[in-house]
Structure 1
Amino acid sequence: MSRKKLSALQKHYRENGCTPRSHGNSGRVVPHHLSYDDNTRVKHFISNYAETYAILLPGRIPRFKRDDIKLLPSCETKGNVWRKYKQAMELSGKNKSTLSKNLSSDCLFPLGFHARVVAQTAFRKIWNVVCPFVVCCKPMLDVCWQCKKNNSLLYKSANLPDAEKQDRCKRQQEHLANVALERSFYRELVKGSKETAEQQGVMHLGLNNPCSRPVEMHYSFDFAQQMHFPSDPMQPGPIYFLRPRKLGILGVHCEGVTQQVNYLVDESVVISKGSSAVISFVHHFFRQYGLGESNAHLHCDNCSGQNKNRFRLWYLLWRCSCGLHRSIQLHFMVVGHTACSSSGTVAHK
């Protein structure tokens, strides 16, 4: 051991006692070999790029609790954004007319500007730390069509009169306010169900007599994307042209005890996602796993063929008429913003 290392150990022992030492760079995610200006330029580029191409999608991306998520198109990847960043850095000293043909003016650096080009690995690390709210859209992500149309109108309103600009902004703000109102109502129901379950001492789903507890409980249900089996991402030759067997998944989530029952439905049993199938699954859930509440709140999406139809309303009315529930309230999420506990849990499982 060198004298310098021995002195450092003695100094650490005198100041901190017999505790393990930690390196000064441990826990740092942003590459420390880059200067502050390099990190700042990457941050500004990603922010400007998102302002130009991304759409706002509040509360729709799992693992994010921010109000506004900027969602890039599905054709964009972090590697693609890095290549455009690199191209902008390399072309920054050339003629402006040449630059305008390659990149948007919102993503360019000043003319004659020369700086270090950050590698792709460091670019991704900086992105994850300083701009985690900018997310690349996955191919099967459910995007709100109303948000898409409103944002497209906002992008094309550069040369329009101020009155029309204000009208388009107001239309988008009203839509987002409606989404936030419905989301807050959903969260209040979830919070109330958890408090009721704690007061009643209910810890898990199980067999309970219908309408045996004079309390309110909240449930949400949703269909997940169909699974195919056998499933092999490599697609070997013998099964390349074969049609896989389909497996439907419906999840019913009880918000009070935060437990969910997933129904795995083979295509030999039912191949459609109509109202009859949904009613059968929900009826079986209440009969086998219900908590015996007298008043129920149900949250689902606006699909007219499954949930928002007369057959579903007749079924809920029949439950109340037979004394299985005293009251049932059916709530619908805003179209395109239908993420709830059942859809998120099914997607992860």
Structure 2
Amino acid sequence: MSVERMLPTPEAVDLIGLVRDIAERELRPRAAAAEEAGEYPRDLVRTLGRIGLLGLPYEEAYGGAAQPYEVYLQVLEELAERWATIALTVSVHSLSCWPLATHGTVEQRKRWLPDLIGGDLLGAYCLSEPQAGSDAAALTTRAVRDGDAYVLTGTKAWITHGGIADFYTVFARTSDDGSRGISCFLVPADLPGLSFGAPEKKMGLTASPTTIVNLDGVRVPAERRIGREGDGFGIALEALNSGRLGVTAVATGLAEAALQAAVAYAREREQFGKAIIDHQGLGFLLADMAAAVESARALYVVAARRRDASMPFRHQASVAKLVATDNAMRVTTDAVQVLGGAGYTRDHPVERYFREAKVMQIFEGTNQIQRLVISRELRSPG
């Protein structure tokens, strides 16, 4: 079932068509087996990079595609509908490039950004720590200036692409001045002192490695600091506003996949002499699932259009992330219910979708944090 989309340009229509074709041909057939085996498909990521999907929202001058965020998010949804791990990879990689692309100097961008978004390199975003998750300003990883370098020491937790990334966007404390004492660094993966824990044993997205990142006296050249000292926390939060929209699109694609699987099953499965989709109880459940997917899609498109128009969008991003990921959890749960006992087995993909949806309510800011952001926006006058 192809989702009809409102796209801003004929180029965008062609891009979505290309992504859909590639995702159906290359992603969907491999997803279940790779998730079962916990095997990360780096070859597919390189393929997506070489056709430009890792640099969609970035400037053409640096090798990007200069696509509106609205289009980039719809690409993520198409990918997630076939394989959530791949869509998450593109979203996290884009998030990892964002500080350099928006706060790096012209010289830094010219030097590093083309390689980062060109397809061969994979990024990771290192903000969270074992004791500083939702309270990111409490991070304790230190960056001490030593001549023409900074020496980074500390531990980052829950890092997507940990151990396989080629570069790490790391936030570390350069002073004790609270949130104003954090700076941002672009850390190559091959520096001495950088090591990784064993991959976390997760309930979903098992093909995507998530690890601890250890920084044991990692010496990072000062030229790899992004922005001024003390600007890191603001950079991190700005990046997350866009990253939350990425998660929103991934969650929407995952929910669409669950809806499609449930509808297909309900059309074929018969009980009491007719297809179960024709029983009002199941038909109404499927209708609610469809409404949830459509509402999530509309929310992220509205937020992305505000971003593309250089309008404030933090509130809209938090609303979209909250609604879309809660909806994805509900839709995948209901998809299992539609399939009944079959939905609880690994013979059908909905149980995997159910497991994958849960983490989307947690990462890029838990949904409790989204409610906090939204309520604070409501509290502010004007």
Relative to its length, the structure with more helix (as a share) is 2
Larger C-alpha radius of gyration, 1 or 2? 1
Fold match, TM over 0.5? Answer: no
- For the aligned pair, the TM-score class normalised by the smaller chain equals under 0.3
TM-score, normalized by length of structure 1? 0.24
